[in-house]
Structure 1
């Protein structure tokens, strides 16, 4: 236990800016650009705020008081950038996002904000108009938990408005979809179909598929949709990256990336407006073991992690729970991983220095993940591991048995959490979980207090992917309309300093880059996010109204508001 406490202390020190040695001295040649004229937050304990930041060759060469700016930094060609009262921060990193999904969202039927089954039908009817017979209409983004019909949509709902084309619509969480009858027929799903392990085919009273498919059962219908290939696939990915940059993100921890896409993304690195840290699908095990990490020459693209799944999602009742769902007593969720296969992969990952970022949402999914990590660590002594500090991550960490919270620090596991999930899910989580299990739900405060850091993200396109929403959710723990009840456990909110680190210094640590990005410190890369107002001081509700002003990557302004 003493070693665990020491390890967690060192993690917090590394992420907070405490240094064991001073940064290398950088000669006072003329800077390329100097930023001033607004509050500048560093996410570094040595000096939380500075007045002026100078950049040369993509690196921060000065961060401090304006009066102490070294002679020679302001040269004839130096660009002086006046923030004009806007606030500058270390570049915000989305520690859990699907960049391809961001780009695809702009091309598919977007069902965000759908208010009812009737609204869903109306949107499908409009989108289906003019689509040739036999074609496929694909959409995403609906959530039924607040609909007046109080049920999932079904195939009959879709058949009523689009009977002649195949239609399937993914739930916002990506762990369920609804398909019409033609799509089910094309995918070969009938009353005789058997749900695969880790999936479910919902059925009506007669045993016929309702059209709702959960997790692993989605595959045959999902295969009917657009996969984007070649140049078009690269274009979709670039659209996703630019969508992130326009919001102010400078970094994206890209989840569930097919290994075949890694070379494509690396080839795009010079044009990418965000720094991409890839967590690839399990098909990356072989290449990463054989060839090692992938790093582009400009270090904007790094692939050294693999994404695994323990369970499904809470909204579609696929999250694996220790006890049945309160609103579905016959159901305790779905496990998507097998213990023997997962443990074998964990042992290999420890031996080869591969980071594992593992999706776990339910309290059973999270508990088993911690159990398996503990077993794998016991099976591979430290002197047999490629690196001592594996920095494995629990992606989502949504529902945790309170007794398991201390185990994250003890095992060195980083919770990677998305604050917007809480302010959406807490409208229905009390029904799914009951009162007692809410104590360990979206427990940011308890986890940080236990000695771990949280890598903050958005899970876009599951959520909007807006850093303002994520920051607001973390500090206010309220819905966008201000809603909050005792069920929401207000005491689990975080401070603004912690929220800033959740999207800057702590994702840097979670991607082994704390000495390169995540803080405004001399010697680190010049990645900055600039908002129109100071989210560290304005009223909570006003955080949602600030505007992105500038996104800076490697000292280059890659996006700027008009």
Structure 2
């Protein structure tokens, strides 16, 4: 595995890849045998002879030896910072509750007593996690949190007390803190990890963690651009400092969450709009994506009609009224800021679409590319398709969630694409499914549609490999207003590509799930190289 010192601080942005197959995914640039990147941009796709004739003397040459080059892949929604943080947490993913408790007990022997350390463990979707009483038996002094996912966790009394979650506590908007029969928080918290004062890594260490995560979890699979949702303001600063030092292994856009919501960065939409920055502000390696708003939570905290049989206080973690959403969207539209809307439940999605329609009327026409995150994951019908099309909303399902789906989801890629939509490929992972940072895992899920138990989920929504690949290239580029620069290989576009031993479009889903790039190139700079290819 490459180490940081193997990445040059002064980028070598010129490279010629010859004697292979270059797949451009660009209707204006035919596929070829060779690719020339100089000054960070594609200069030529053609024969090996043409590229060698055009290259500068100082341009390095890589003999592909019949290997395949694809455009760099784009992850259009993920949580790199949380992925990086989870590397420091205790791994209890997909183990029985008894094993989780045993691992926590063993970890507590490693110098926690008498310190301010927190013990955070990472589980996965649908896992049977310990309850507060069991965690209290392990320690009454060390705060313990066990995360199922970005959205749901369980905590011991020490952790709850440090977060102020004691008898009489009132959960803030957008967060669900379950209250037990004794009138005190039970330990179950949804949409509220950011409320716990877990110590953050030191800034220098956070930068190293983020750089390593970008390289080892994303670039190694051929990802060259990521649309990131940073978890903290310090994470935003860390990305800027990595960029200034030339240490970003991939391109990044940063989309900031507006409170109330999970791990918010902005207190209001005006906080960003009033300073005059618009989506795209920044450079070619790091830029402002926009902002994200939560309308509900996940699973039991989703604003969904199935929950209306419960008492109103348990319908969802609904964060905003209709008029508030219209106001937020109008502010964003007038300021030139793209909006991502998190809406999982059917009621949340209908609410979002109503607000989008009204904000469009108020602000007037424009190319806004408003995104509806999680649309078509769990359900789809003709009425939803029609409204999405009329309002020019980008639906953003996540194929990787098929892995944990119980078997009744939709993940309606075929329906969306046949209806003219271009849903962007993404992992939407924050440590719960670390393998999902490999975009080929998502591609495989679009093909065979199988969950972790081997159950096929909505088989009629499967697409072919070439179509799935387009979601992580041209569709993802369009979803971030970057189609002129990334998502394909064409003269004048960014020189971002990945080299594979074989054409991924000819591999089986099982082979795709384990696929790594031999070489990943960003702007002509090698950011990942397999050790056996060094």
TM (norm. structure 2) is 0.86
SS of aligned partner of 2:395: strand
Shifted more, 257-266 versus 551-560: the winner is: 257-266
Identify the residue that residue 392 of structure 1 maps to in structure 2: 370
Say which of 398, 415, 419 aligns to 1:446: 415
Q: In terms of mean alpha carbon deviation, does 488-497 or 195-204 score higher?
A: 195-204
State the partner residue of 1:552.
Answer: 521
TM-score by length of 1: 0.82
Matching residue of 1:407: 387
- Equivalent residues in 2 for 1:365-444, closer than 5 Å: 365-382=348-365, 388-397=366-375, 398-402=377-381, 403-424=383-404, 426-427=405-406, 430=408, 438=409, 441-444=410-413
Over residues 196-253 of structure 1, what are the superposed CA-to-partner deviations in whole Å (9 max), with x where a residue is unaligned? 332222244444432111124x454x22x12335333333333332332233311110
CA distance in 2, matches of 1:380, 1:168: 44
Instruction: Pick one of 220, 228, 247 that aligns with 2:221.
Output: 247
> Is 1:308 aligned with 2:293?
yes
Q: SS where residue 275 of structure 2 aligns?
A: helix
Instruction: Flag the 1:285–1:242 CA change in 2: closer, same or farther, 3 A.
Output: farther
Match of 1:90 in 2: 71
Paired residue for 1:473? 445
C-alpha displacement of 1:58: 0.9
Q: Does 1:105 align with 2:90?
A: no
Deviation (angstroms), 1:140:
4.4
Map of 1:359 onto structure 2 = 342
**Residues 454 and 144 of structure 1: is their aligned pair in 2 closer, same or farther, counting only changes over 3 Å?**
closer
Query: Quick check: 1:499 aligned with 2:468?
Result: yes
Aligned partners of 1:252, 1:526: CA distance in 2, in Å?
A: 16
Matches within 5 A, 1:38-49: 38-46=20-28, 49=31
**In structure 1, what is the Cα distance between the partners aligned to 2:185 and 2:470?**
46
Specify whether residues 144 and 409 from structure 1 end up closer, same or farther in structure 2 by C-alpha distance, changes over 3 A only.
Answer: closer
Q: Residues 5-35 of structure 1: CA distance to partner in whole angstroms, max 9, x if unpaired?
A: xxxxxxxxxxxxxxxxxxxxxxxxxx94221
Q: Deviations over 1:493-540 (max 9, x none)?
A: 222122111111111111111011110111111101223332201222
- For the pair 1:161 / 2:153, whether they are aligned, the reply is no
Tell me the alpha carbon deviations over residues 49-89 of structure 1, each in whole angstroms, 9 at most, x when there is no partner. Answer: 3321111111111113446x267314543422122343321
Counterpart of 2:488?
519
Counterpart CA distance in 2 for 1:539 and 1:492 is: 18
Q: Secondary structure at the match of 1:406?
A: helix
Q: Cα deviations across residues 345-387 of structure 1 (Å, max 9, x unaligned)?
A: 11011111100012111212212111111111111222xxxxx
Query: How many residues were matched structurally?
Result: 501
Q: Partners of 1:157 and 1:48 in 2: how far apart?
A: 62
Residue 236 (structure 2) pairs with residue 266 (structure 1): no
Kept in 1, the 8 Å contact 2:101–2:130? The answer is: no
State the shift of 1:288 in Å. Answer: 4.2
Aligned-partner Cα distance in 2 for 1:369–1:494: 28
> What SS class does the counterpart of residue 448 from structure 1 fall into?
helix
| Cα shift at 1:339 | 2.5
Q: Which moved further from structure 2: 190-199 or 319-328?
A: 319-328
1-structure distance, mates of 2:310, 2:460: 26
Confirm or deny: 8 A CA contact 1:285 1:306 kept in the other structure. no
Q: 1:211 aligns with which of 157, 177, 187?
A: 187
Give the whole-Å Cα distance in 1 for the aligned partners of 2:275 and 2:395: 28
Could you say what secondary structure the match of 2:206 adopts? helix
Shift of 1:165: 0.9
In 1, Cα distance between the equivalents of 2:319 and 2:226? 25
In structure 2, relative to structure 1, the CA distance for the partners of 1:553 and 1:65 (3 Å cut) is same
In 2 relative to 1, CA 154–332 (structure 1 residues): closer, same or farther, beyond 3 Å?
same
Does residue 175 (structure 1) correspond to residue 151 (structure 2)? The answer is yes
Deviation of the 1:117 alpha carbon: 1.0
Distance 1:311 1:538, change over 3 A: same
How far residue 191 of structure 1 moved from its aligned partner, in angstroms, is 3.9
Q: 5+ residue gaps in structure 1?
A: 1-30, 383-387, 431-437
Maintained 8 Å contact 1:318/1:333: yes
Q: In 2, are the aligned partners of 1:134 and 1:166 still within 8 Å (CA)? A: no
Partner of 1:19: none
